Amino acid sequence: MSEFDLEKIFSEWNHEAFEGELSLPEIRWNSRLRTSAGRFIPDPSGCVIEVASYLRDELEAEKLIRDTLGHEMIHYWLFVKNLPYGHTPQFHEKMESIGVSRYNPVPKHRPFKHCYECRGCGQRIFVRKRLRLAACAACCNEHADGRYDSRFKLKLLASGEAVLRDQIPLKRSG
Ligand SMILES: [Zn+2]
Ligand SMILES: [Zn+2]
């Protein structure tokens, strides 16, 4: 059991910063989240917000958990309003207006800095150093006899804060 009640913190944020507009999504702790403090999983049939369990052991646990939930709630709020829900200018504007800290420390592990995606299979790869010319090993092995094939060149999805903070938002089809 946790002394931190995520639904209660959600409800506080909702009234303080979102005019009570947001309906309660599924909110859960995730003990496997390591490279990020939180995650928003968009799903029209029921969104999910995850908060990394390790935050509970941090010195400023309460503040970090509140900040993380607030951050993910902005993604959720934009999604509900049918707006782009990544780290857009509107996201930053809301973040500043409601007082969510800009940076969320993700201690314990050196964070990944860049996120790449395979053009072929869509697999995401998180790395610390920028890749210059790299392709997805799985796809090259399967479709190109293990040789480099530009069809499976990795595409840079995001760098920096977006990668540190949470997962890159999922792509929606259609
Ligand atoms: Zn691939
Ligand atoms: Zn985010």
**pLDDT (tens digit, 9 = 90+) per residue, 98-149?**
988 755 555 555 567 788 889 889 888 888 788 888 999 999 999 999 999 9
Q: What is the pLDDT of residue 1?
A: 47
Every domain of the chain with CATH number 3.30.2010.10 lies at 6-105
Q: Which CATH class is domain 6-105?
A: alpha beta
The alpha carbon of 166 and the centre of ligand 2 are apart by a number of angstroms equal to 5
Res 111: pLDDT: 63
**Distance between CA 91 and CA 67 in Å, rounded?**
14
How many Å apart are CA 126 and CA 34, to the nearest integer? 12
Q: For residue 91, report the distance from its CA to the centre of ligand 2, in Å.
A: 9
| 139 membership: H or E segment, kind and range | helix 137-143
For the whole model, what pTM was predicted?
0.60
The candidate with the shortest Cα–Cα distance to 13, out of 92, 70, 55, 68, is 70
Please name the residues in contact with 173: beta carbons below 8 A apart, sequence gap of 6 or more: none
pLDDT confidence bin for 168, thresholds 50/70/90: low
Residue 173 or residue 158, greater confidence: 158
pLDDT at 163 over 70: no
- What is the distance between the alpha carbons of residues 22 and 57, in angstroms, rounded to a whole number? 28
Give SS3 for 21.
Answer: coil
Across the range 41-60, mean pLDDT stands at: 90
Among 3-17, 45-59, 118-132, top mean pLDDT goes to 3-17
Ligand number nearest to the C-alpha of 136: 1
Ligand 2 center from residue 150 Cα (angstroms): 30
Of 117, 130, 113, 94, nearest to 165 (Cα)?
Answer: 113
Ligand minimally distant from the alpha carbon of residue 140: 1
